[in-house]
């Protein structure tokens, strides 16, 4: 999909190996590392990452904070805290949309023009994949439409075939 000079696509792979200016981390509110993609990013970036994270004082659900990328190919990491799925009537969609908007804002602030984003909240936090993919794609589409030229490329990085199918379906529905 192309909007306002930005290409947006779903790709399958391990986000820690990918050569974007910045990648987004689906972190927890401590920002001190965890399981899933968060653990993979901390392992790949090396121990200096957690030292910088300690200085940030955590992060609220729906917000995002940037650090350097350390040993990753990406120069910057944008850490965002997705909502835990509690049935869908507890503000989950608005909080998840906020994660994407805040992550894109932080990415612009650090000068990133290419960005890789994992499927925030869809692992340990239990957000249903199809619903999360729709929030992700719709939020990103509106954001880049309002800021033409801010990003060259945004990749929705899916860890498995099921996630890739869900994100491709959401992209086709825009």
Q: Is 137 in the site for ligand ADP (CB under 6 A)?
A: no
From 157, 164, 166, 170, residue interacting with ligand ADP (rule: CB under 6 A): 157
Question: Does 38 participate in catalysis according to the annotation?
Answer: yes
In angstroms, the Cα distances linking 171 to 8, 18, 27, 61, 133 are 8, 21, 24, 25, 8
From 4, 33, 36, 73, residue interacting with ligand ADP (rule: CB under 6 A): 36
From 45, 95, 119, 150, residue interacting with ligand ADP (rule: CB under 6 A): 119
Q: Is 156 in the site for ligand ADP (CB under 6 A)?
A: no
Q: Is 83 in the site for ligand ADP (CB under 6 A)?
A: no
Kindly state the helix (H) or strand (E) to which residue 157 belongs, with its residue range. strand 153-158
Q: Is 167 in the site for ligand ADP (CB under 6 A)?
A: no
Q: Are 110 and 66 in contact (CB under 8 A)?
A: yes
d(C-alpha 53, C-alpha 56), whole Å = 5
d(C-alpha 93, C-alpha 127), whole Å = 9
Q: Of the listed 14, 21, 38, 48, which one is catalytic? A: 38
From 121, 133, 141, 155, residue interacting with ligand ADP (rule: CB under 6 A): 121
Nearer to ligand ADP, 3 or 106 (CB): 106
- Provide the minimum distance between the beta carbon of 73 and ligand ADP in the complex, in angstroms, as a whole number: 13
Q: Are 6 and 32 in contact (CB under 8 A)?
A: no
Q: Are 123 and 36 in contact (CB under 8 A)?
A: yes
d(C-alpha 111, C-alpha 21), whole Å = 8
Q: Is 66 in the site for ligand ADP (CB under 6 A)?
A: no
Contacts with ligand ADP by CB under 6 A lie at: 14-16, 26, 36-38, 40, 82, 118-125, 157, 159, 163
Residues annotated catalytic, as ranges: 38
């Amino acid at each position: 999909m192309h909007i306002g000079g930005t290409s947006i696509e779903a790709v399958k792979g391990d986000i820690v190996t990918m050569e974007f200016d910045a990648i987004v981390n689906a972190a927890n509110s401590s920002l001190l590392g965890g399981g899933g993609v968060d653990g993979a990013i901390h392992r790949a970036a090396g121990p200096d990452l957690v030292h910088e994270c300690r200085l940030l004082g955590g992060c609220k659900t729906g917000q995002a904070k940037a650090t350097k990328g350390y040993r990753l190919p990406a120069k910057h990491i944008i850490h965002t805290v997705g909502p835990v799925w509690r049935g869908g009537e507890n503000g989950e969609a608005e909080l998840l949309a906020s994660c994407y908007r805040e992550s894109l804002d932080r990415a612009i602030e650090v000068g990133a023009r290419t960005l890789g984003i994992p499927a925030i909240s869809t692992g340990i936090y239990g957000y249903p994949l199809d619903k999360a993919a729709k929030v992700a794609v719709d939020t990103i589409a509106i954001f880049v439409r309002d800021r033409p030229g801010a990003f060259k490329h945004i990749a929705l990085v899916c860890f498995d075939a099921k996630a890739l199918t869900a994100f491709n379906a959401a992209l086709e529905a825009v």
